[in-house]
Structure formats: C-alpha cells, structure tokens
C-alpha cells in the first residue's frame, strides 16, 4: 500500500524523522495495538524513510492515495 505523508495534527508532537511532506511512501507492514495511555487502538505503518531507515509511524500522519484522489475530485466537483 502506498501512503502520502501529510503530518496531520494528531494531538501530540511527532518527529519528522527524515520524511518529506506530501511525498509517497510504501508501507511494508501494518501494526495495530491498544494504547493504555491513549485509551484507543493505534495503527503504525512500517515505512522506509528518506535516509533508508525502517521506521514505525502513526498511520494518522499519512493519507492513502485513494483518499487524496477522492479529496481532489470533490474539490473539482466531480
């Protein structure tokens, strides 16, 4: 699955960790777990950053290509 880094405000500080805004990244693995601290499920995407390191990042700071496509079509009124 391909996702685009949009750095969505998720209510707490997130580090950019060699990610480029609006760049597409390939998700290598998805991990979901229940966070006692947040009181909800958290989904992490395993991606390769711009410097080649594997990193787990909260899925909420990304948008799928399908979601961005639909947003753009809505903006155009299609």
Q: Please, where are the H alpha helices in 1-78?
A: 65-76
**Taking the mean position of all CA atoms in its chain, how far away is CA 75?**
22
Q: What would the two tokens of residue 71 be?
A: 């947003």
pTM score above 0.85: no
- Number of residues that this document lists for the chain: 78
Residue, of 16 and 76, whose pLDDT is higher:
76
pLDDT digits (tens, 9 = 90+) for 6-60: 887 665 555 667 888 899 999 999 999 999 988 999 999 999 999 999 999 999 9
pLDDT, average across residues 52-72 = 90
Q: Which helix (H) or strand (E) holds 55?
A: strand 54-58
* Bigger pLDDT: 73 vs 78: 73
Which pLDDT does position 7 carry in this prediction?
81
The DSSP element (H or E) to which 3 belongs, if any, is: strand 2-5
> What pLDDT score does 68 carry?
85
Tokens of 66: 């399908």
Rounded to whole angstroms, the Cα distance separating 11 from 49 reads 22
């Amino acid at each position: 699955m391909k996702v685009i880094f949009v750095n969505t405000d998720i209510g707490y500080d997130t580090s950019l960790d060699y990610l480029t805004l609006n760049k597409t990244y390939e998700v290598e693995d998805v991990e979901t777990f229940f966070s006692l601290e947040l009181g909800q499920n958290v989904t992490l995407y395993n991606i390769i950053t711009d410097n080649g390191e594997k990193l787990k990042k909260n899925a909420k700071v990304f948008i799928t290509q399908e979601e961005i496509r639909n947003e753009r079509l809505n903006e155009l009124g299609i």
